[in-house]
Chains A and B, each alone.
Chain A
């Protein structure tokens, strides 16, 4: 498809680009950038007031399918990702079956390829079946195209095993990604704070995260592995990452959109949609996460998208499945963050595109003449209601269901093809 997008604000952190101008796409490539008022075209998009930036890279998302088609399929969820401006996704290895074998990885990537909405950069299991005792075939998996190894939310309790995981990853220069939370201290159902106490829910203390971050930092330091932390949640966690980076450790970190926008008080009244692992924390933690993004301690924002069927959330709070479907409300939440002016548009775009792309060692999609179209166009002012008709994800665990939202994707290009067009 060919088109001219007129009057959008173009931001590309990799090129230091921030300008309001026009863009011409021909045969899936950027043909021209600049004042194109003289160019007549059949297909024009008036994009005044809209934001055009490199399409997003998601460092942590949960793809369903196979044994979990009641929750979603690779087609439905990659389409939902495209509707949130993403074109490259790093699926978590806790798929069913588990992403611990090349065959599973190729099955997942080929399904996504056939669907055509997003490219996958899979994360494989660090241990077989995430069991925390046997190493996965890391070298073979890395040749199958995985970008890193993680044990997702599953514990590796034995430090000997964990040391070997790191040593083996270091042998081949592979990246280890960590969901940092101590297993035993992480048995609760929400942040240990006043809300948990009032509601009688078992709390997860901040030390569950900081102990685990410290532990993994030691292993990363000891073995020289380049490590990445998924979903930091606390102020103390941010501080640990900040100090390690200051000491020159080669680590990176991300934060989920939910932890940037919600706090533990959202659980008040047993709101099951806010039952997350790792948990939403206090307002002071949320502020520290935003500060961490602003000062570069945290490199990227991930979706931590986890779609569920309605039955998974239909039980008393502690008995419900954890996680929220975030793709449908992703842009409204980004727009909300922007409106507080605590982060600049450039910082947010970098944390969603160029920085996670760098961590995933993928090509940074840039907005320049001659480049394949890989961008998303966002209408930050668009008002709409999230409901069963407007949502794209199959997940029914939509925290903002039936609410009036501001901000929506207008268009996403993935590798020269339109993957979302509203």
Chain B
């Protein structure tokens, strides 16, 4: 799986999951993103790294925040950006995913940003449809959301420094969370050894302990003395599908309140991938309070996406050049 997103020299050419990426690679992404945080603070926010490149935003599932930060990131890298509203496009007319993508590929696109409801959709596209187009996974089913996890890592690193001594709690709907899985991969790879998942058994995935985390059904126990609390969004349809009895009971047991946050370290930071449900998973006083990193996360999100897009594009270009220089070298295609 990891081979699929790396060139034969170990450079990123797609960005599909954090599973299989080593510490050096994750740190390079964070370092590159750090440099782009500065770009965001400049008067002129553009750099020419993707000038002349065509980036297509393919969102098969709704998302305002992720889509707009990807679009902004691409524009700040000077790319030409096309955002496709899939609901009104060909797939709803019965064209298969495969055919839609083949058509877009024929338009000489250089990069697809893909969000899809099926786990593994980005892998499928990278493997089957467009090996020479850089594929950035913007969330696939419950599987992965690597840019979100990396922006969370950037937030933690910029506010807490070293990952090794940290205790991190991830709270809420782990089962349906594509972010949680990539956060676990990233935290482990970056050296964090105390990763705790907190939630009721109905929202805890089968055998999640095999990923090297501890699980807690009691919120106070789970966030005791942690440095970072990551709250996950609770979709309201979870009540209708019998995962939980009510939003009220969930908030009472797993909602993050000012009172409860006192169990964590005094300087603990609070994160949330957004959009937040005030009064369901998090109290407004916490979301807007001094320990909250929620808005910082959004701006770091643009920097992370710029970093990943520029790195994957450069990996693709190297691969294409290697192919042009030596067309018979099949090694270069890997």
Contact = CB atoms under 8 A, between A and B. Distances in A.
Interface stretch (B163-171, B203-211, B246-254, B272-280): B203-211
Nearest to B3: A269
B116 interface: yes
B208 A197 contact: yes
Chain A binding site: helix, strand, loop or mixed by DSSP?
loop
A200 interface: yes
A315 B208 CA distance: 27
B205 A268 contact: no
Interface of chain B: mostly helix, strand, loop or mixed? mixed
A203 interface: yes
B145 to A, nearest CB: 10
A319 interface: yes
Contacts of A196: 206
B19 interface: yes
Contacts of B181: 197-198, 200
B31 interface: no
A234 to B, nearest CB: 14
Contacts of A205: 206
Contacts of A203: 206
A301 interface: no
Contacts of B124: 270, 315-317
Contacts of B143: 199-201
A314 B118 contact: no
A118 B123 CA distance: 41
Contacts of B128: 314
Interface residues of A, number: 22
B55 interface: no
Interface in B85-120: 96-98, 116, 118-120
A131 B52 CA distance: 57
Contacts of A315: 96-98, 118, 124
Contacts of B142: 200-202
Interface in B64-83: none
A197 B141 contact: no
B232 to A, nearest CB: 14
Contacts of A268: 1
Contacts of A317: 118-120, 124
A201 B120 contact: yes
B140 interface: yes
Q: Which of B1, B118, B143, B144 has the most CB of A within 10 A?
A: B118
B286 to A, nearest CB: 28
Contacts of A97: none
Nearest to B19: A198
B226 interface: no
A374 B144 CA distance: 53
Contact of A200 (B96, B97, B98, B178): B178
B115 to A, nearest CB: 12
Contacts of B208: 197
Interface in A315-362: 315-319
Contacts of A270: 1, 119-120, 123-124
B98 A316 contact: no
Nearest to B209: A194
Contact of B118 (A192, A198, A269, A318): A318
Nearest to A202: B142
B207 A316 contact: no
Contacts of A318: 118-120, 141
A193 interface: yes
A162 to B, nearest CB: 24
Nearest to A268: B1
Contacts of A193: 206-207
B219 interface: no
Contacts of B205: 197
How many chain B residues sit at the interface, stated as a range, is 20 to 34
A266 to B, nearest CB: 13
Most buried by B among A193, A203, A205, A269: A269
Interface in B176-228: 178, 181, 205-208, 210-211
B121 interface: yes
A46 B124 CA distance: 47
A202 B119 CA distance: 9
Contacts of A311: 96
B211 A314 contact: no
A72 B92 CA distance: 29
A167 B208 CA distance: 44
Contacts of A197: 181, 205-208, 210-211
A268 B20 CA distance: 12
Contact of A314 (B98, B116, B140, B210): B98
Interface in B102-160: 116, 118-121, 123-124, 128, 140-144
A269 to B, nearest CB: 4
A375 to B, nearest CB: 43
Contacts of B206: 192-194, 196-197, 203, 205
B211 A200 contact: no
Nearest to B97: A315
Contacts of B140: 200, 316
A205 B1 CA distance: 25
Contacts of A316: 97, 116, 118-121, 123-124, 140-141
A311 B99 CA distance: 11
Contact of B1 (A192, A201, A269, A319): A269
Given A270-B124, A315-B124, A316-B97, A199 B210 contact: no
B120 A194 contact: no
A239 to B, nearest CB: 20
Interface string A193-222: 110111111110100000000000000000
B99 to A, nearest CB: 11
A198 to B, nearest CB: 7
A316 B144 CA distance: 14
A184 B133 CA distance: 39
A198 B184 CA distance: 10
Contacts of A201: 119-120, 141-143
Interface centre among B118, B120, B141, B206 (most CB of A within 10 A): B120
A202 B143 CA distance: 10
A197 B206 CA distance: 6
Interface of A: 192-194, 196-203, 205, 268-270, 311, 314-319
19 contacts: A193-B206, A193-B207, A194-B210, A196-B206, A200-B119, A201-B120, A201-B143, A269-B4, A270-B123, A270-B124, A311-B96, A314-B128, A315-B96, A315-B124, A316-B121, A316-B123, A317-B119, A317-B124, A318-B119
Given A201-B143, A269-B4, A316-B119, 13 more contacts: A192-B206, A192-B207, A194-B207, A198-B211, A199-B120, A200-B140, A200-B143, A268-B1, A270-B120, A270-B124, A314-B128, A315-B96, A316-B116
Pick the 5 closest A-B CB pairs, nearest first.
A200-B143, A200-B142, A316-B118, A270-B120, A200-B119
